[in-house]
Amino acid sequence: MEFRRIRRGRWQWKLAGEFSEAGPELFALWEDPRRDFRARLARRENTESWFEFKNLHPQLPALLWLRLKEYSEFDALNFFWRSFPLQKSWKVSRRLSPVTDAVARPLAYGWMWKDLRIQTEALLFEARPHFSPLGIFLKDNFSEPAPRYSPEDRRELLSQLIVSLRELFSRNLSLPWECGLAELECKLEPDRLKLFFPRPERIRESKPGRLRLPDFLAWLCLELRPHLSTAYLIRFLHQFLAAEAVLPSELEPLLKKIFLSSELILEKRIRKAEKGFWGKRFPFFWFELKGARVFLRFPVDQNQALELIPSLGLLSRRREKVRVRKIGKKELVECDLTAIPGGKGKEHRVSSAFFFSVRLTLENLPHQAPLLGVESPREDYLIYEPLSASSLALNEYLARLLADELSGRSWDRKFLLRLAGLLLRLHERGLVYEDPRGDELWVE
């Protein structure tokens, strides 16, 4: 696929062969879409914005997406010896879009120089509307207690998912072990489930025959575990392996290898997340403030948190809820506030809460995530995400079940198995809950 270069002031552009002519007004729109009414902000992630355009030019598709990414002077140093993300996405998209519809067709790539460094990147490509993250699709259609489809329909969805994933495997395309299902989007069509890579720069291309089936399925097994029940997960693996013509005698050793590789990926993710927590990487951040350490979790608004900290002691003594503002949200969220008295053996309780929240999230273990924490010599404070309105303390829930039984109504005793399974999984992962009382465990 050929392209031509154009220089416009500090901007340089590469235009794809299908569309090699563009007027000055189009370049001005792509370089600064925020000031044009024709550009709609579709999503924003940290320093990257996605804009949507309609009917810009007869030679262009009717619907376009533009990724605009800005860099600080420190970011430029990080990419000094390798490709910038959108530059890599341009190269990968040009190479893969003719052979698979999982990658959108790129149309233009541009970058702006400032003081001998790249300040802004822009990537224009054909839009893929009505796609949603694969994890959200699976949660909506497979998660209990009220999935959208019947068991027969869900088995059909699972078969379509296997067909689409096998197509990626046959083309030696996968995602790195640190990526999740958010990097893979899907759209349900009458005859198939289409998959789409929104960020082609994160695709891992293997040489023919080098992408191993256990590694591919180990990553999928780890990502599908939060959304599929054990029965559906085993069904998924059996159908995938059967479609790959795996012999029955090879099935059990291959499944053991897949589960072992999945646990190894999880351990690598945990180690990386632990380093990221202490390195103040997204979504966690902590800093010193007047002799105390303050811990924040995205998307808590930092300015509002600084205003809130001096009043935490008073709010704790009054046993009041705390209203927290999240970035991008207008309404404040009522959250739970916990005070931890200082003293010997009470050190680092706040940092431990944030540290273990990282691990519990990766382990797919449900917990009340901390949003804001303060470690001080006298007293520590933790602000947690609010529980859902349908949540009940375990002792209250069991009391209701007992009342139902005394009234002659039956109740589902499988709940006790699920509770025992949660505690067993904690112990298997080397985690022990110090005080598992009825008001410390909640059910939803």
| pLDDT tens per residue, range 423-435 | 777 777 677 666 6
Instruction: Please state, in angstroms and rounded to a whole number, the distance separating the CA atoms of residues 53 and 32.
Output: 13
- Residue 59: is its pLDDT beyond 80? no
Residue type at 342 in one-letter notation? G
Residue-wise pLDDT for 385-410, tens only, equals 888 777 778 788 888 877 877 777 77
Instruction: Please state, in angstroms and rounded to a whole number, the distance separating the CA atoms of residues 300 and 152.
Output: 42
Q: What pLDDT score does 25 carry?
A: 78
Please name which of 387, 376, 383 lies closest in space to residue 324, comparing C-alpha atoms. Answer: 383
Instruction: Please state, in angstroms and rounded to a whole number, the distance separating the CA atoms of residues 381 and 373.
Output: 6
- Residue 211: is its pLDDT beyond 90? no
Q: Are 175 and 202 in contact (CB under 8 A)?
A: yes
The pLDDT confidence band at residue 345, using thresholds 50, 70 and 90, is: low
Q: What pLDDT score does 17 carry?
A: 64
- Residue 188: is its pLDDT beyond 60? yes
Residue-wise pLDDT for 135-186, tens only, equals 888 888 887 655 567 788 888 999 999 999 999 999 999 999 888 888 999 9
Q: Is 319 left (phi over 0), alpha (psi -120 to 50) or beta?
A: left
The pLDDT confidence band at residue 191, using thresholds 50, 70 and 90, is: confident
Residue-wise pLDDT for 98-135, tens only, equals 999 999 999 889 998 877 778 899 999 999 988 999 98
- Residue 77: is its pLDDT beyond 70? no
Q: What pLDDT score does 344 carry?
A: 58
Q: For residue 129, how many C-alpha atoms fall within 13 Å in the half-sphere facing its CB?
A: 9
Q: Region 49-62: what's the mean pLDDT?
A: 84
Cα diameter, the chain? 81
pLDDT higher at 380 or 421: 380
Highest mean pLDDT among 26-30, 257-261, 337-341: 257-261
SS3 label, residue 287 = strand
Q: For residue 74, how many C-alpha atoms fall within 13 Å in the half-sphere facing its CB?
A: 0
Q: Are 166 and 246 in contact (CB under 8 A)?
A: no
Length of the chain: 444
Q: What pLDDT score does 200 carry?
A: 94
- Residue 371 class from Cβ within 10 Å (0-12 exposed, 13-18 middle, 19+ buried)? buried
Q: Region 286-294: what's the mean pLDDT?
A: 80
Residue type at 6 in one-letter notation? I
CA dist 28 → 253, 365, 417 (Å): 58, 48, 62
Q: What pLDDT score does 159 carry?
A: 92
- Residue 81: is its pLDDT beyond 60? no
Please name which of 222, 237, 143, 153 lies closest in space to residue 188, comparing C-alpha atoms. Answer: 153
Q: What pLDDT score does 93 carry?
A: 93
Q: What pLDDT score does 439 carry?
A: 66
Q: What pLDDT score does 342 carry?
A: 67
Location of structure tokens 């256990």: 214
Residue type at 187 in one-letter notation? K
Q: What pLDDT score does 109 carry?
A: 92
Report which DSSP code applies to 101: T
Q: What pLDDT score does 144 carry?
A: 61
- Residue 420 class from Cβ within 10 Å (0-12 exposed, 13-18 middle, 19+ buried)? exposed
Average pLDDT of the chain? 82
Q: Are 6 and 15 in contact (CB under 8 A)?
A: yes
The pLDDT confidence band at residue 361, using thresholds 50, 70 and 90, is: confident
- Residue 194: is its pLDDT beyond 90? yes
SS3 label, residue 23 = coil
